[in-house]
Amino acid sequence: MSATFYGRTASGQAITLDVEDPAYLNMSCGNGRAFLLFLGLEPGAEPSGEIILPDARRAIMRARATFERRVWRCTREDSDTKRPGQARVIEGGLDEDYFARRLNDFEMFVGVVAERGATSIGWG
């Protein structure tokens, strides 16, 4: 499963970007949850949710201003968990570079959907 980001106009029309669009934004559910928490946003159950555009822009500014102080709380090491009688769980790590890249990606996404008339952004 994954979290794909989209825009929404004031009239409720979805603004989706083609997967080939450089501003297209999609993350695995686990990475999406970690990134949204890093931004200070409630990721929702799947994760899924929606916020107004000004809140998205504030989240970007806050994340940039506090990046060095906060990013370490969201990073994780690679793990490979093997337990008898259970499925093996392999989880990729998330480092500071990942959050820096995704912050740039998110900012580009917000800018593109705003230019296309979005008043809110969502993920799911």
> What is the per-residue pLDDT for 79?
85
Three-class DSSP labels, the chain: CEEEEEEECCCCCEECCCCCCCCCCEEEHHHHHHHHHHHCCCCCCCCCEEEEHHHHHHHHHHHHHCHHHHHHHCCECCEEECCCCCCCEEECCECHHHHHHHHHHHHHHHHHHHHCCCCEEEEC
Range of the domain at 58: 2-123
Neighbouring-strand partners of residue 8:
14, 120
Residue 78 pLDDT: 85
Tens-digit pLDDT profile for residues 2-33? 899 999 999 999 999 999 999 999 999 999 99
Q: What is the pLDDT of residues 37-68, one digit of tens each?
A: 999 999 988 889 999 999 999 999 999 999 99
Domain count, the chain: 1
Identify the H or E element spanning 62.
Answer: helix 53-65
pLDDT at 91: 78
CA distance 45 to 91: 20
pLDDT at 74: 85
